[in-house]
């Protein structure tokens, strides 16, 4: 089991060296959201493959260390997922991955990117089903 310090170091690493922090041009998903209370903003991007799975995921944004690290972590976890799998992702898993004790008072920051991704998956699935 990881120590509190291990979780903190992982969060700081993702914040200081964000994975996939860039815009994906012509993305199938481009959705944004924020936490007005603390100024966090996250824009999630994803490109789907022919098989309907996410081939590429990225983010842009600004805000606290936790919100930006969570977005970085999420982009790694989205690759290979279907939109239904994204919709089924657990907020609790995100909090667990970041360390419950570390983000306990900042769960809205920790789950912002996943909220944006879930909403975007819902929207795209709705559009796809309406087009059939």
Q: Is 105 exposed, middle or buried (0-12, 13-18, 19+ CB in 10 A)?
A: exposed
The residues, any chain, with a CB within 8 Å of residue 56's CB and separated by 6 or more, are: 24, 45, 46, 47, 79
Full-model pTM: 0.95
| Residue given tokens 């991704």 in the structure block | 117
pLDDT digits over 38-96, tens only? 899 999 999 999 999 999 999 999 999 999 999 999 999 999 999 999 999 999 999 99
Assigned fold of 4-126? Sufe protein. Chain: A (3.90.1010)
User: Which residue, among 97, 106, 70, has the nearest Cα to 1 in the 3D structure?
Assistant: 97
Listed by start position, the domains of the chain span 4-126
């Amino acid at each position: 089991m990881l120590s509190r310090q291990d979780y903190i170091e992982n969060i700081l690493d993702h914040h200081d060296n964000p994975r996939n922090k860039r815009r994906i041009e012509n993305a199938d998903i481009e959705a944004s959201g924020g936490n007005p209370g603390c100024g966090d903003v996250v824009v999630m991007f994803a490109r789907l493959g022919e098989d309907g799975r996410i081939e590429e995921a990225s983010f842009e944004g600004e805000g606290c260390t936790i919100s930006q690290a969570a977005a970085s972590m999420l982009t790694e976890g989205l690759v290979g997922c279907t939109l239904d799998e994204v919709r089924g992702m657990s907020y609790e898993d995100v909090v667990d991955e970041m360390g419950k004790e570390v983000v306990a008072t900042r769960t809205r920051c920790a789950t912002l990117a996943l909220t944006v991704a879930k909403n975007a998956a819902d929207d795209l699935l709705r559009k796809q089903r309406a087009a059939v």
